Chain A
Amino acid sequence: MSTTFLPCGTYHEYYAEDHGWWQTKFIKAKMALLFIVLFIGIPLVADEYWLSVCNTVGYTILGALGVQLLIGFCGQVTLGHAAFLAVGAYTSTLLILEFPWPQFLINAGLAYPISIFIAAIVAGIMSVLFGLPSARVKGFYLILTTMAAQFIIVDFLITQYVSQIGGRGQAFSLPPGTIKVGPWVIDSDLKVYFMMLVLVIISIIIMINLLRSRVGRAWVAIRDNDISAEVMGINVVKYKMLAFFVAGFIGGIAGAFWISNLAAISPEHFPWVWSLWLVGVILIGGVGSIHGTVFGSIFMVVVMEVLQLIIMQLLDMGFVWAEPLFMDFLFIKEAAFGLVICGFMIFEPNGLAYRWWQAKNYFNLWPFSY
C-alpha cells in the first residue's frame, strides 16, 4: 500500500498491484520470519505459563480489532464491546451444549467451528442492533448508547435469562472433550495457541482486505468527516451499520474462541471494564492502525504479567509489604492501567504504532533524516 516505503525501481501499473500485500522481497522475508517465529519458535520455547499469556494476547487482539475498526477506522466511539464478546461466547456455548448436532458432525469435530461462525453472525447482528442509534447520535451520546449494550445484554439478558437455560444456575461448565476442532480436542494451552493464531490471522486478513477496498475507504471517509462523506455519495448509515456488524462479527469470534480456554463461562467473564480495557489497548497501540492493535494488546497483557511477576519476586525476597499488593493485584492492575493510559496520552499520544513507524523510517531515510 502506499503507506509502505518502497525501494527505488518499484512501480505499479495497476491499482491491484498498488494495493498488493508484501510488495518487496525484504517484506516477504520479514513476514516469513515472523511466521516461523509464531508457528515454530514460540511453541518450541514457551512453557505453559507463557503460552497462556500468548493466548490472552490473542484474545485481546481479537477483541480489540472490532474496537479499532469502530473507533480507529469508522470514528464510532464504543464502550460496550465486551457485550458482543459475551454474545459470541454464550451463543457458541449454548450451541455446543444444547443444539442437537447430527452425530457425524460431532464425530468430524465440526460442531465447535460451526458454532464459532454462527456465534460471530449472531454477535454481528446484536452489534448492528445497538449500533442503530449511531445513525442519529455521535460522540458522547454514542458512548452512552453503546454502554447500554453492556447493561442490557450482559447484566440483564444473559445474567437473568440466558444463564438459566438448562437450569445450571449462573455458570455454564464445558465438559472436557466438548471443544473439538476436527480431530483435535482443544485441551492444552498449545492447542489453544494454534487455534488462536489461525483465528487472529484470519481476522486480520478480513480487516486489512476490507480496509483496502471501497468499504474501508468509505469508513475512513466517515471517520474523517461524515458530512463530506455523505456528499461524496457514501451511504453513511449503511456503512456505519456494516462497521458495527464486522466489529461484532470479530468480537463474536473472540468470545467463541475464549470458551476453549475456559472450563466454564459466566457473565463475570465479560465485565464492563473489559470494554474500557479494549479502548485502552487501541489508544496505547495507536488509533487507526492494525499494527497498533497488536502492539497495544501485547503491551497491555505483557506489562500486567510482568508487574505480577515483579510483585511475586518481591514476596520471594521477603518484603512483607508486598503481600497486600499481591492479594489485591486486581486493583493494582487497574491502577496501573489508569497510569499507563495517562502516561501514553501525555507522552505518546499517537501510540506504539507511531513509534514503530518512526523506527522504520529511521532506517528507510538513512543516511538522512527526511
Chain B
Amino acid sequence: MQHADNMHVNDKEIPKELTIPKLFYEKANSYGSQKVAMREKEFGIWRPITWQQYFDNVKHIALGLVSLGLEDGDKVSMIGDNRPEGLWAEMAALCARGTGVWLFQDSLIDEVKYIVDHSDTKFLFGEGQEEVDKALSIYNECPKLQKIIWDDPKGMRNYHQDYLISLKELIARGQDLDQQQPNLFKDLVYKGHGDEVALLFYTSGTTSLPKGALLSHHNMLTMGKHLMMVDPCHANDDYVSYLPFAWIGEQMMSISCGLQIGYTINFPEEPETSQENIREIGPHVMFAPPRMYEQMTRSVQVKYLDATWSKRKFYELASKIGYHVADLRFNKKPVSFHWKVLEWFAYAMVQKKLKDHLGLSRVRNAYTGGAAMGPDHFRFFHAMGVNLKQIYGQTEVAGISVVHRKGDIKFDTVGKPIPGTDVKITEDGEIITRSPSVFLGYYKNEEATQEALRDGWLHSDDKGFIDDDGHLVVFDRTKDVFTLRDGRPFSPQYLETRLKFSPYIKDSWVIGDKRDYISAVLCIDYSVVGKWADEKKLNYTSYPELSQMPEVYDLVQKQIKQANQDLPEAARIHKFTNLYKELDPDDDELTRTRKLRRKFVEKRYEDIVNALYADNDTVHIDTTIKYEDGREAHIKTDLSIRMLEN
C-alpha cells in the first residue's frame, strides 16, 4: 500500500479538482486504524493517533463549526503551539469549506488584532488560557469575530463569556449534527475545487505591515508533490512538527508533503523540550530556518569546549577529516580510497555519536531556508555527514521554488528550481517565478497583488542570478547590499552569519552603509557567555551587566578577529559594541521568523549607530523595553565601544 502511495504521488499530475480535504478523506479511509497519523508526547510517551481518530476528530470539529454557522469561505484563525488539535482545527476548517489563517503563537495583541481584523476571522481557535486572554482583549474591536474555541481547560474555570466554547463541546455539537445528517461531511468535502482558497497566510514582512497571501488547495498540493519529486519521502517516515504553523515551511511539510505521502507527524511535549523530543524520534526529513541549525552548531561547539582532552582530540581529528571530505564533495572532486577509509573512521569514532546527540541519525534530507545561512554553518553540517540543503522560497509560492539536488550542493547557491517551476531573472536582476504553486493574490490588497503578479510571474523583490551550473544565487534583499562611502561593496548578512558561527555570539547586526568603515552591534549568548564567566569566576547579575564586562569584550573581540580573518580590508569589522539586551521579535527588532528588521533597529538604536561613527568610548542608553504581556520596563545603561586594530 505504501508503495502504491508513492506511485500515486510521483506519477500523476495533481488534478485541478483535488483539494486538501478530498485527499484527507481518501487517505484517512484507506489507512483507517492501521496506520499512525500523528503522535504527541504526553506524560512521557508518544501517544499515537491513528488516521481513523484523526479523521473522526476533524469530521466532528468541521461539523461543529458548521453548526455554529460557518459558511463557504469564512475565515477560521488558529493560534497555539504545535499540537494535534491545531492541525485538526486547520483541517476541519478546510473540510467545512472555510479558509485557514494561522497566527504565530507568541504574537503580541496588536498583531493578533491586526490579522484577526484584516482577515475577517469568524472563528478563532486558541489553545488555552493565554490565547483566550489575547482573543478576549480584542473581541470587541473585531466585529466579525463570533466564537472563540479553546481546548486546554487549565485555568479556564472562571471564563463564562457566551462567545467562548470548548473544543469538547464543539466536537459534541459536531457529533449531533453528524447523527442528524450522516452524509453532510462527505458532501462538504466533495463540493470543493482545487482552485478555491485554502489558506490565508500572513507574510512576516521585514519592511511593512503583514500582507495576507491567498493560497489555493492546488497551490499547496503541487508544492508538496514537486518537492517530493526531487527528494522522495516515504509513508513510514517520521517528521517532527515543532516550528510555528504560521510559517509556510511548516505548512509545506505537515500538510503539503505530509498529507500526500502520509508520513507520521510527531508533536513535541512542550516547545522547550523540542530538541530532546527530536532526538527521540530521529526524523527522516527536517526543514528549519538557519536559526535552528545555528543553535545546534552552538551547542556542539560549547559541549566540545567543555569535553575532556581525549574526547576533544578525537573530535578535532574527526572534524578535520569531515571538513576535508566535505570540501572535496562540494568541489565535485573524487574522494580517494584512503580518504574514504578515513571518513569511515571519523564516522565510526565521532560523527555517528554526534549525529545521535543532535537527533540527526536518520535524517535523509535536512533543509534550511527562510533566511541566509553562513557557509561556516553549512560546511559544519556537511563535515558531520548531514545532507543539509539550501532552499529558496516564499509564502507566495506556498513554500519553496528552488532546492539543492543530491550530490550537487554549493553553499553559496540555493540550488535548482523544482519540477514544474520556471525561475527567471529580469533585466533588473529580480528573481521571478512561475509555477502552479504561485499564489492567487493578496487579501484585500489589489495594489500589492498587481505589483507581485505580472503575466503569471511572481515578482519576489529579491535580486540574484543564475550561475554557470544552473544554480540560483540569491543576493540579500536589495536594500541589504551595502557600499562603503568609497564605493566598496560588502554584504552585511554574510558578515552577520560569520559572526554568529562563534558560540558566544547569538545575534549580530552589521552597520556600514555609506559610512567610512564597518561596525557591528552584537548580542552575546547569555547561557554560553554566562557559563564562560562562571568558570572564570566573574560575577554578574544580569544580561546587561554581563554584556558590558571588559573581559566579555575581550572574548567577543577575539571572536571578531577570527571572523575578520581572510576577509578583504574593506569587509572587516572595525568597531563593535555589545548590546544590553537580546534582539527580540516582541520589540519588533526581528520578524517572527527571526530576520533582522534593519530599518527599524537603525532607528531604534540611532544613538548607538551615531556613537559607533563618532569618537566615543561609550554611549548612554535610556530606553524602554516591552514584554509580551504588554508590560514595559525602563533601562538606563552605558555601553562601551571597542575598536579593533586591523
Question: Is A47 in the interface zone, CB < 8 Å from B?
Answer: no
How far, in angstroms, from A369 to B353 measured CA to CA in the complex? 12
In the complex the two chains form, is A14's CB within 8 Å of B304's CB?
Answer: no
The answer to whether A369 and B306 touch across the interface, beta carbons within 8 angstroms, is: yes
B443 contacts A by Cβ under 8 Å: no
Q: Which residue of chain B has the shortest Cβ distance to A368 in the bound complex?
A: B303
Contacts of A11 in B (CB 8 A): 39, 46, 280-281
* Bound form: Cα–Cα A365–B311 in Å: 10
Q: Does A321 contact B (CB under 8 A)?
A: no
User: What string of 1s and 0s marks CB contacts (under 8 Å) between A1-37 and chain B?
Assistant: 0100011111111110110000000000000000000
B contact residues around A366 at 8 Å (CB): 311, 314, 350, 353
Please tell me if the beta carbons of A367 and B353 are within 8 angstroms of each other in the complex. yes
Q: How many A residues, CB 8 Å from partner? A: 19
Q: Which of B359-367, B392-400, B595-603 makes up part of the contact surface?
A: B359-367
Contact A9 B353 (CB under 8 A): no
CB within 8 A of A13: which of B46, B314, B359?
B46
Q: Does B436 contact A (CB under 8 A)?
A: no
Q: Name the contact of B361 in the complex, choosing from A8, A15, A17, A369 (C-beta under 8 A).
A: A8
Given contacts A367-B314, A370-B303, contact A13 B280 (CB under 8 A): no
Residues on the B chain within 8 Å of A365, using CB: 357
* Interchain Cβ contacts within 8 Å, total number: 68
CA distance A8 to B355 in the complex (A): 8
Q: Classify the secondary structure of A's interface with B.
A: loop
**Closest Cβ–Cβ distance, residue A211 to chain B (whole Å):** 17
Say yes or no: A368 contacts B311, CB within 8 Å: yes
Q: Which residues of A contact B314 (CB under 8 A)?
A: 366-367
Chain B residues, CB < 8 A from A369: 303, 306-308, 311
Shortest distance between the CB of B193 and any CB in chain A (Å):
38
Q: How far is the CB of B354 from chain A (nearest CB, A)?
A: 6
Residues of the A chain whose Cβ atoms lie less than 8 Å from the Cβ of B36 = 13
Which of chain B's residues have a CB closer than 8 A to the CB of A7?
356, 361
B45 within 8 Å of A (CB atoms)? yes
Using CB atoms, name the residue of chain A closest to B284. Answer: A9
Q: Are A367 and B46 in contact (CB under 8 A)?
A: no
Known: A366-B311, A367-B354, A369-B306. A9 touches B282 (CB 8 A): yes
A359 to chain B, nearest CB (A): 14
Q: Are B311 and A367 in contact (CB under 8 A)?
A: yes
* Residue B134 interfacial (CB < 8 Å): no
Q: Which residues of A contact B382 (CB under 8 A)?
A: none
- For B63-90 the 0/1 string (1 means CB < 8 A from A) is 0000000000000000000000000000
Query: Which residue of chain A has the shortest Cβ distance to B351 in the bound complex?
Result: A367
Residues of B near A17 (CB, < 8 A) are 45
Cβ proximity bits B279-322 to A, threshold 8 Å, 1 near / 0 not:
11110000000000000000000011011100110110010000
Q: How far is the CB of A9 from chain B (nearest CB, A)?
A: 3
Q: Is B186 an interface residue (CB 8 A)?
A: no
Q: Which residues of A contact B308 (CB under 8 A)?
A: 369
Residues 26-46 of B at the A interface (beta carbon under 8 Å): 36, 39, 44-46
Q: How far is the CA of A9 from the CA of B264 in the complex (A)?
A: 13
Which residue of chain B lies nearest to A18 when distances are taken between CB atoms in the complex?
A: B45
Contact A368 B360 (CB under 8 A): no
Taken together as a complex, chains A and B put the C-alpha atoms of A15 and B41 apart, in Å, by: 12
Measured between beta carbons, the chain A residues less than 8 angstroms from B360 are: 8
Residues B44 and A368 in contact, CB atoms below 8 Å apart: no
Chain A 333-370 per-residue mask, 1 if CB under 8 angstroms from chain B, else 0: 00000000000000000000000000000000111111
A12 in contact with B282 (CB, 8 Å): no
- Minimum CB distance partner of A12 in chain B: B45
Residues of A within 8 A of B281 (CB): 9, 11
Minimal Cβ-Cβ distance residue in A for B350: A367
B307: chain A residues at CB < 8 Å are 367-369
Chain B nearest Cβ from A5, distance in angstroms = 10
Contact A367 B315 (CB under 8 A): yes
* Contact present for A18 and B355 (CB under 8 Å): no
CB of A6 to closest CB in B, whole Å: 8
| Residue with the highest number of chain B CB atoms closer than 10 Å, among A9, A15, A367 | A367
A10 to chain B, nearest CB (A): 7
- Enumerate chain B residues within 8 angstroms of A2, measured Cβ to Cβ: 44
Q: Is the CB of A368 within 8 A of B306?
A: yes
A6 to B276, CA, bound (A): 12
Given A367-B353, A369-B311; A8-B359 close (CB under 8 Å): yes
Contacts of B429 in A (CB 8 A): none
Contact B45–A9 (Cβ < 8 Å): no
Does B191 have its Cβ within 8 Å of any Cβ on chain A? Answer: no
How far apart sit A261 and B452, CA to CA, in the bound complex (Å)?
91
**Which residues of B lie under 8 Å from residue A9 when comparing CB positions?**
238, 280-282, 361-362
Most chain A CB atoms below 10 A, which of B238, B280, B355: B280
Bound-state Cα–Cα, A138 to B185, Å: 65
| CB of B185, distance to nearest CB on chain A (Å) | 28
B217-250: CB near A (< 8 Å → 1, else 0) gives 0000000000000000000001000000000000
Contact A13 B361 (CB under 8 A): no
The 8 closest A-B pairs by CB, nearest first: A9-B282, A368-B303, A8-B361, A8-B282, A367-B315, A8-B356, A11-B280, A369-B307
If A8-B357, A9-B362, A15-B45 are given as contacts, then 5 extra A-B residue pairs at C-beta distance below 8 Å, sorted by A number, are A8-B282, A8-B361, A18-B44, A365-B357, A367-B315
Can you name 19 A-B residue pairings with CB atoms under 8 Å?
Answer: A6-B280, A8-B280, A8-B282, A8-B357, A8-B361, A8-B362, A9-B280, A11-B39, A12-B46, A13-B47, A14-B45, A15-B45, A366-B314, A367-B312, A367-B318, A368-B304, A369-B306, A369-B308, A370-B303
